[in-house]
Amino acid sequence: MEDSKNFIVNELPLETTSSSYVALENLMESRNFNGYFDFLKNTDLYEKMVNELMKTKNLTPGNIQKMVKNMWSDYFRNESNAFKNWYGVYLEQKNGNLVETVNKVVDQNGVYAGWFKTSEGTIVKRTFFHGTSPEFDIIAFTMCALETKRGQENKRCGFAIDGAPVAVFVSTKHVRDVVTVVTAEPRRVFQLQAEKDESKIMKTKKPNKDDSFQKFVDRMWAADVDRAKPTDVSLNWQQKVGKNHGNLKPLFNYVNETIFNAPVYQALFNVWNHKIFEPAVCKEELPVEGQKKAVLQRFFQTMTNHTIFKVALEYLQEKGVYSPAKHDQFMDHLFSLWFGVYSRCHAPLGSSGFEHVFAGETKGRVVDGHHNWVRFYLGEKAGDIQYKGYYVYDEGIIGTIQYDWQGAHKQKGGFFFYTSPAFDFAVYSSCVLTHTGNEGCRFKINNYDLFVTSFQQRCNSGSCISTSYAGIVE
């Protein structure tokens, strides 16, 4: 743990008279990239990039200039963004936006990762190269962003600085032929390798084969009397991600909202309406006590008293996870699984399984979780969600889509459609207690091959749900 609140100033060289840093300071104040570009285009690094792109991608200088401006203008216009350069972080500290160091890790290859408390009390992460110029970082991020493609907008690019291996991570959005940067930051090499290893494990792990689960899914599906009927919901899927031209219409054409009068929906609405969760994962959640605990217990009791969950208990008993003789202990454990809190931001306890799955979270400009169709519908109805297209869907049961929520971007997310909260709660609970892992639960609904991916992680109550969501087996 770092005690000094000004370690950036103490440890890193400040060349504030350099035109490079003056230009970045003006950019951070004005958030006008076009003004900064007047400086950037006259640097040696920009000239080298232009020469490389003319040679390898057959682009003209004019095309490159337009491309770079389009790529970065929205990024810097968004006030929630902070440019991942050491001097940019210094400016945040100088201007009082970062007020305290929470933790830091310095990689031997010169990539710095730190967690800082902001003036608003949230915790944010900043990762940056030691001592590199702002234009070096922008050029590196730009070259990496150019390697992204529609449908594969996340890119990790490795290279070397003074012989030391480093990497950058860039997330982009593709609209027609325009590429815009969403996030861009250096990555420590061991972090990059860990992500690759995890990805490999996720892709190669085989799902658990459990024929008995299908029998119980069929029974839970039949017991879902609160599920929307086909005539209750009308969806407008429109175009696949990457093929849309201009803004799309809302995904939902119509929902018969009288279905929401059922107690299972009202219990969920009651949680949302009390606003007891902070969407930003880097901000500490309120303790589960008092009114917050009472609201969550009402939801929990409504879900677990439903006929669907009683079917789930039979399955869990068959698997040796549940015993009627220890019913109260099991319910306490299940409550902790869903509502225990943990960190997704290396410091504050700002997340829980319930919030992640049923409410949705944000991490900077990225949507985390948000796996409930009713939550999506209400957000879209309120104008908080902009639908961007689908990846795949099975009409009447499930879909995987892309969208923006309250200014944050969900690159790829999915959920059941039509199902009641009681069905989602029972299926997700059953899978996380018996078959965690990528596509760990496999089953059919209406002859569609589906899966549930779920994971647990350590939390303040021992073990909690990290995520649980449904998808289509492709």
The percentage of residues in the chain with a pLDDT greater than 90, rounded to a whole number, is: 48
Asked if 456 and 436 touch (Cβ cutoff 8 Å), the reply is yes
Between these two residues, 199 and 323, which has the higher pLDDT value?
A: 323
Residue 255 phi/psi, 5-degree rounding, is -140, 130
State the pLDDT at residue 203. Answer: 38
Specify the range with the lowest mean pLDDT, choosing from 91-95, 227-231, 439-443: 91-95
Query: How does the average pLDDT of the chain come out, rounded?
Result: 84
Question: DSSP string covering 101-145, please?
Answer: EEEEEE-TTSEEEEEEEETTS-EEEEEEESS--HHHHHHHHHHHH
Residue 142 phi/psi, 5-degree rounding, is -60, -45
Burial string for 87-102 (b: 16+ CB within 10 Å, else e) reads bbbbbbbbeebbebbb
CA distances from 58 to 7, 35, 45, 48, 55 (A): 45, 26, 19, 14, 6
pTM of the model: 0.60
Range ranked top by mean pLDDT from 220-224, 345-349, 443-447? 220-224
Q: Which whole number is the average pLDDT over 302-329? A: 96
State the pLDDT at residue 189. Answer: 54
Range ranked top by mean pLDDT from 22-36, 371-385, 401-415? 371-385
Cα–Cα distance, 353 to 441 (Å, whole number): 18
Classified as helix, coil or strand, 33 is helix
Residue 31 has pLDDT above 90, yes or no: no
State the pLDDT at residue 435. Answer: 93
State the pLDDT at residue 245. Answer: 59
Asked if 145 and 133 touch (Cβ cutoff 8 Å), the reply is no
State the pLDDT at residue 163. Answer: 61
Burial class (CB in 10 A: 0-12, 13-18, 19+), 340: buried
Q: What is the pLDDT of residues 98-145, one digit of tens each?
A: 777 765 555 555 677 777 777 666 667 778 887 788 899 999 999 988
Q: What is the pLDDT of residues 139-191, one digit of tens each?
A: 999 998 888 877 667 788 877 766 667 788 888 888 777 888 888 888 765 44
Q: What is the pLDDT of residues 187-215, one digit of tens each?
A: 765 443 333 433 333 333 445 567 789 99
Between these two residues, 151 and 242, which has the higher pLDDT value?
A: 242
The percentage of residues in the chain with a pLDDT greater than 70, rounded to a whole number, is: 85
Residue 379's Cβ-side half-sphere holds a number of Cα atoms within 13 Å equal to 21
Residue 305 has pLDDT above 70, yes or no: yes
State the pLDDT at residue 88. Answer: 82
Residue 391 has pLDDT above 70, yes or no: yes
State the pLDDT at residue 123. Answer: 64
Cα–Cα distance, 425 to 433 (Å, whole number): 12
Q: Which whole number is the average pLDDT over 277-296? A: 90
Q: Which whole number is the average pLDDT over 432-458? A: 91
Q: Residues near 339 by Cβ (< 8 Å), separated by ≥ 6?
A: 288, 296, 300, 352, 353, 354
* Radius of gyration (C-alpha) of the chain in whole angstroms: 24
State the pLDDT at residue 201. Answer: 33
